[in-house]
Chain A
Amino acid sequence: MKILKMILLSTLGLYMTSMLQADEFTQKDLDLWMAEYKIVVKEGRKVFTDPKLGTNTVTCNECHPNATNTHPETYPKFQKQLGKVATMAEMVNWCIANPLEGKKMALDDQRMTALIAYITWERRGVKLEPGKH
């Protein structure tokens, strides 16, 4: 009986381990997810250079080549001109409304997600420094 119990338990153990393994990410998963992200980064670059994003044909990259001087690693941070701690998306909206003379977009707008995906990709590897000016 004891032996049977042991066999049963060890089988159960093996079963559980294999369940755990089924939840681990495979390289295929990682590649797929990165590919999905890169698609959105590419889309973001399109929005970043789209003369129709605002109303005056000005594009984001006119002032921010390769998304420089956007500092995604420092958000959220206090923006004295907005008078509060703001997220990057709020600052992007400020740019759209002012230099681009356009209409602010919803913070979860797909184009906003794409813009931030692109801006952050251009800044990859830089350490997080929330609040920094």
Chain B
Amino acid sequence: MKRREFLKKTSMLTAGTILPMSLIEVAFADEPDGSKSGENFTFAVISDAHLQQIKGTKFVRNWDMGLKKAVAECNLMDPKPDFILFGGDLGQLGKAAEIDHGAEILSALRSPVKMMLGEHDYYLDLGEHWMNRFGDPYYSFDHKGVHIVVLNSILVDEKWTNKWKDPMERMQTMAGLDDPNGSPFMVGLQQRQWLKKDLENISKDTPIIVFSHSPLQKLYKGWNFWTDDAELVQDILKPFKKVNVIYAHVHQIQYNKIGNIAFNSVMSTAWPWPYPETYSQETHYMPKMTIEMNRADPFFERDATGWQMIDVHSGRVDFNFQLPNNKNRTVAYNEKTKQPEDMEFQKEQIPPQTHY
């Protein structure tokens, strides 16, 4: 894989610091003369900022810094990403003040921004303020021959949603990742029907990228690394030859493949989460292929947070993770094995990456 110019530039600019996002390249087959296809493009994902209001105009400094840094880094990229997707959880407790504060920071981005909803943006007012600011929570668009779908995957059943007298109590319960009174996420029937219809006239050869906040697969229910109707959504995507699901929520690097569907997760700009297998009291279902991030150093505030730049090529996506306190990593689609793989570490686990 050819590294893009901006990678060199950003690594020079930010030596010894953290880059809080991911850049993703979507590439098509190179031209016969070896030059890059004009259809290749890159976009960036910034996600899980969790801006947290303390009081009035005071917000948690640490989380603010993560998002501001991601925005600054994105603006420095060359070539500019075609668009930047924000992966959800802009606020921590869904407050208008948090969402507006986030919108203000994101407004500095110099590329078109697409928004996705996370549970932290939703469960206070059921997304009312977020939708007023950013529009529909699920939609699709086409970009350079790729069909791109953004889902709202953080819905739960109505009984749970409506059982709370106090919306803040509902929000706080859902905001606690490990709160046993939460409820499993789902895409829901209405959106599944919409998705089916949306894909009806799309050729089965068209590459598809689906963004969802929660993983569209079942990894660990206890922390909602989970979507209850994941298989039903996967069934809708199955007939397409090249499907890429990119999800947020998990604050860590994960990747795997189910059938034609390649899965990649993105990191958070705010804080990293431990991998589910580190919870010794429960079983987990982490994808076996994933080479995990190092355990975070709590003394280095931005460690294990990040953003990602994504290359789209041949209808598949490559992820470039910026890990300031560690070697940067690339999880790219390997055309030989037909799997997303870490370009450097796939064959060997590195000792410090032991999680327990």
Contact = CB atoms under 8 A, between A and B. Distances in A.
Nearest to A121: B281
B43 interface: no
A66 B60 contact: no
Nearest to A65: B178
B52 A66 contact: no
A65 B177 contact: yes
Given A66-B222, A95-B298, A61 B278 contact: no
Interface residues of B, number: 28
B299 interface: yes
Contact of B176 (A61, A69, A122): A61
B223 interface: yes
B280 A125 contact: yes
A122 B278 contact: no
B295 interface: yes
B54 A65 contact: no
Chief secondary structure at chain A's binding surface: loop
A61 B223 CA distance: 12
A19 interface: no
Contacts of B50: 62
Interface string A91-133: 0001100110000000000000000000000111110000000
Contacts of B280: 122-126
B356 interface: yes
A81 interface: yes
A72 to B, nearest CB: 11
A99 B305 CA distance: 14
Given A57-B54, A99-B62, A65 B271 contact: no
A78 to B, nearest CB: 14
Given A49-B176, A58-B60, A124-B281, A65 B52 contact: no
**Which of B177, B223, B273, B298 lies at the interface centre, i.e. has the most chain A CB atoms within 10 A of its CB?**
B298
B279 to A, nearest CB: 5
B137 interface: no
B314 to A, nearest CB: 37
A86 B177 CA distance: 29
Interface in A67-92: 68-69, 71, 81
Interface in B310-352: none
Given A56-B54, A95-B298, A69 B178 contact: no
Interface of A: 49, 55-58, 61-66, 68-69, 71, 81, 94-95, 98-99, 122-126
